[in-house]
Chain A
Amino acid sequence: MTRSELTGGLPVTRGRWWYDVPVDARAGMRVPARVYADASLWEQISRDRSMDQLLNVATLPGVAERVYAMPDVHEGYGFPVGGVAAMDARSGVISPGGVGYDINCGVRLLATDLPLARAGDRIADVVHDLSRSIPSGAGRGGRLSLSPRELDRVLNEGCRFLVERGEATADDLEVTEAHGSLPRADAGAVSQRAKTRGRDQLGTIGSGNHFVEVQVVDDVSDVAAAAVYGLQRDQLVVLIHTGSRGLGHQVCTDYVRLMDQVMPKYGITLPDRELACAPLRSAEGQRYFGAMCAAANFAFANRQVITHRVREVFRRAFRDRGGVRVVYDVAHNMAKLERHGGRELCVHRKGATRAFGPGNPETPPRYRAAGQPVFIPGSMGTASWVLAGTDENLDLSFGSTCHGAGRAMSRHAAKKRQAGSEVRRDLEERGIVVRCGSVADLAEEAPYAYKDVERVVAVVHAAGLARKVARLRPIGVVKG
């Protein structure tokens, strides 16, 4: 059952869990747009410029079928965060802004064999040790400093290089998207500046909304799928959220600049310069794709080195009971070549997660009974969710779902509402141990700055984008 209405001057057809904007809603649009949301989220989404940005994306050359916004969508730079757009691989463009500055920002879930009851009195020590072992804060370097040759190997090989160094296992790679190593990576397309920014940042969280959280499985919605993922109620888990750090930012900066310069050569005009792009098949497009894949490999390796540190911490705290297993690692800022409907498409997911179902060959064999694991972190101090990808989603959003709760308030506005020290006190009163580089900046990530993750996940589940499996409750936060 659908009905049409005008929202902010746009003709919108409303479905049960989505809002459609037709292709003729605005001059220049090449495809229609769809936003997955309920009425409450739609009202929040309508307050910022994310719809305007989504319709701008619908004007890009070669854009295929439909552009999508996930329930957590919010305004970004050029592309909205929570946006999905697929470009024809032969005739379409690739846009660094459609991937984002933090290339392969993503989430990795680690599972322990510890029930909360056996670890509860050690949580504060564990969180403290995690904060000492994993550097956080923008620009902060880590304990690893790579030679130029080693850094090039990380960029070209990703996590495979870390297996040689004893910082990853074959098992870890099997449950990492693309095995933590994108084959089209080209370290030669990454500037020296980007390499300089990244050379000592492997194994670091960074700043902003990045974190390492100790959590407990709070509720299981799908017992069978949870069992496939090795999750059960009251189990201690660790969620890592970070990306390619300064290296990825510099790659994006370099290629937005390059594409801004070459667009006239290809006759491309855009409504927003931050959407700067070039044909995927052009020399510039191919070079960016190689550099982006290299930065993505760096991000996979970053989360892997952090995993290694987490393992060290848990071994120190719990000795032979401190084993830590990777459940899955998935990117949410990436452009990937995929086949959909018989066409090869370059699917841009910015602040959106791949969510493939049981039947997809890219779903790890051990998860084929359930589907690819999907993680939707809540805001700091609220629940995060584990979901399972669905096969039907290939027809709903190119097999994509959302990546978090989504900001509802700017960082500046969040800091004006409450002091960081008060946010910290609120969290600690709820039994959450907090370690952070800057207490003042904690307010930027306060729960009130985000949409309600329960509502976002309910829409994802109801719309068929992914299926609820388990809810995770934070008990310790190391904040970037």
Chain B
Amino acid sequence: MRVRAADFPALAAEAGRALAAIELPGPIPAAAGPERQIVLRAADLGALLVDWLNELIYLAETERWVATAFTPRPAAEHELRVSARGVRVDPAPSRVKAATHHGLVVRRVAGGLEAEVVLDV
């Protein structure tokens, strides 16, 4: 997965949308139901991005809930706070089994940040 955005919260939201596009066949349906608050902390932005994707993978597999819409909230350094909404699916769409640290990159580029994460499928 390769994503770009202006800052880290936007990058996480973009990665979440990219994951939903992999998990759900066809066009992504409109989010429905209540918001879910997700708060994560890690040692650095790379680890935080991997944790974020693994959180979404876990929710998809165990709760059959795929997050599709994301609203980042103010957060401390190396912390991520996101309000997420999504869709319920059956069966669980866990085509993606894990986000890995393999070849993990989060780097500054013109206009913001770029990240590369290898997903185990």
Contacts and interface: CB of A to CB of B under 8 A. Distances in A.
B16 to A, nearest CB: 17
A241 B103 CA distance: 28
Contacts, number: 70
Nearest to A76: B102
B18 to A, nearest CB: 15
Interface in A70-119: 76-78, 97, 101
A223 B47 CA distance: 54
Contacts of A78: 100-102
Contacts of B51: 257
A276 B101 contact: yes
Interface residues of A, number: 28
Interface stretch (B26-34, B70-78, B87-95): B87-95
Contacts of B116: none
Contacts of A276: 101
Contact of B98 (A253, A272, A411): A253
A28 to B, nearest CB: 18
B94 A138 contact: yes
Nearest to A102: B97
A421 interface: no
A197 interface: yes
Contact of B100 (A207, A250, A274): A274
A273 B101 contact: yes
A197 B54 contact: no
Contact of A140 (B46, B91, B102): B91
Contacts of A138: 61, 92, 94-97
A260 B120 contact: no
Contacts of A273: 46, 101-102, 104
A76 B94 CA distance: 20
Given A197-B58, A250-B58, A139 B94 contact: yes
A252 interface: yes
B110 to A, nearest CB: 26
A139 B93 contact: yes
A335 to B, nearest CB: 18
Interface in B80-121: 91-98, 100-104, 118, 120-121
A355 interface: no
B20 interface: no
A101 B97 contact: yes
Nearest to B95: A138
A449 B92 CA distance: 27
B120 A137 contact: no
Contacts of B121: 208, 411
Contacts of B92: 138-140
B95 A77 contact: no
Contacts of B61: 138-139, 197, 246
Interface string A124-155: 00000000000001111000000000000000
Contacts of B60: 139
A221 interface: no
A256 B94 contact: no
A49 to B, nearest CB: 9
Nearest to B118: A77
Interface string A235-276: 000000000001001101100110011000000000011101
Contacts of B103: 272, 274
Which interface residue of B46, B60, B103 has the most chain A CB atoms within 10 A? B103
Nearest to B63: A196
Contacts of B46: 273
Given A257-B47, A260-B47, A411-B121, A274 B102 contact: yes
A60 B51 CA distance: 25
A193 interface: yes
Which interface residue of B92, B98, B102, B104 has the most chain A CB atoms within 10 A? B102
A207 B95 contact: yes
A341 to B, nearest CB: 32
Given A77-B120, A139-B92, A257-B47, 20 more contacts: A77-B102, A78-B100, A78-B101, A101-B98, A101-B100, A138-B96, A139-B61, A140-B91, A197-B58, A246-B97, A249-B98, A250-B58, A260-B43, A261-B43, A272-B101, A273-B102, A273-B104, A274-B101, A274-B102, A274-B104
- Counting from the closest, the 7 A-B pairs by CB-CB distance are A139-B94, A139-B92, A77-B102, A274-B102, A273-B101, A138-B94, A274-B101
Interface of A: 76-78, 97, 101, 137-140, 193, 196-197, 207-208, 246, 249-250, 252-253, 256-257, 260-261, 272-274, 276, 411
7 contacts: A76-B102, A77-B102, A137-B91, A138-B61, A138-B94, A246-B94, A253-B98
Interface of B: 43, 46-47, 50-51, 54, 58, 60-62, 91-98, 100-104, 118, 120-121
